Structure formats: C-alpha cells, structure tokens
Amino acid sequence: MRKQMKDGNTGFEKVYQMPLSKVYPLLVNKATRKGRTQEEVDEIICWLTGYNLQQLKELLDQPITYGDFFRNSPAPNPARRLIKGSICGIRVEEIQEPLMQEIRYLDKLVDELAKGKPMDKILRNL
C-alpha cells in the first residue's frame, strides 16, 4: 500500500483528479494492442460501474475526473467483489481505500482482457 504523506494524503488524489478522457484511451490501447476491442473495454466498464454505453460516451465528452466517474457510478456491480489478483504488485482484494479499489478493479479487468481471458470469465459470469 502507499505510505501516508506528511500532510495525511495517501497520494491517490493525483489519480482521482485525472480526467476520464485521458485515462480511457490508455485502457483501450492496452486492450487493442493485444488484439481485443474498444467494444470489449466498454462492456467491461459498463458491467463494472452500471453506466450504459450512451452514458459512458457522454461522460467522455465532459470534464469529469476519474475519481468522480467512479464516485458517481449508478450501479456498481456486486460481482466486482469476486475480482481477485494482483495489479501493479498489489492484490486488489486487499486495497483498503474504497475508491482506489474500484479503480484497480477496472485495471485488473482490462489486464485480464489484454491477456486473452474470455469475456464471460472477465465479467465473472458464474
């Protein structure tokens, strides 16, 4: 986990303040470089957050932060708690900061997509 800084900030605020419109292309590029599609990334985002595709497209045209995108998620998928494993050397299920955990869930799902995992497994369809 990140160490707390002298001012009490954990350093996550920089991530939370990033524009969604800057992060989204990075997620799509990670998947498409490995032969996956933007549509699959969109499906993952919608599954995780509860936004529909139209809402996602509208938010990408607005000046919304990455943190607010997750804070305002209309229906976070309860099955997201089934997401396990490491991303950037940290186990997502052990992240204590709730907002950072939501962000890392998405990172983990896109990582699984880029590694070739089937969509039904990524979306935890049991």
What's the number of domains the chain is made of? Answer: 1
Whether 86 is in a domain gets the answer: yes
Residue with the larger pLDDT of the pair 62 and 11: 62
**43: domain range?**
14-122
Whether 39 is in a domain gets the answer: yes
Question: What is the average pLDDT value for the chain, to the nearest integer?
Answer: 91
Whether 9 is in a domain gets the answer: no
Which pTM was predicted?
Answer: 0.89
Whether 1 is in a domain gets the answer: no
Whether 7 is in a domain gets the answer: no
CATH assignment of the domain containing 38 = 1.10.8.290
Render pLDDT for 25-63 as a digit per residue (tens, 0 to 9).
Answer: 999 999 999 999 999 999 999 999 999 999 999 999 999
30 alpha carbon, distance to own chain's centre: 13
Render pLDDT for 64-86 as a digit per residue (tens, 0 to 9).
Answer: 999 999 999 999 999 999 999 99
Whether 49 is in a domain gets the answer: yes
Whether 56 is in a domain gets the answer: yes
Check: CB of residue 23 under 8 Å from CB of residue 104. no
Distance (Å, whole) CA 94 – CA 91: 5
Whether 3 is in a domain gets the answer: no
Residue 11 confidence class, pLDDT cut points 50, 70, 90: confident
Check: CB of residue 67 under 8 Å from CB of residue 17. yes
Tokens 């989204």, residue? 24
Distance (Å, whole) CA 52 – CA 20: 16
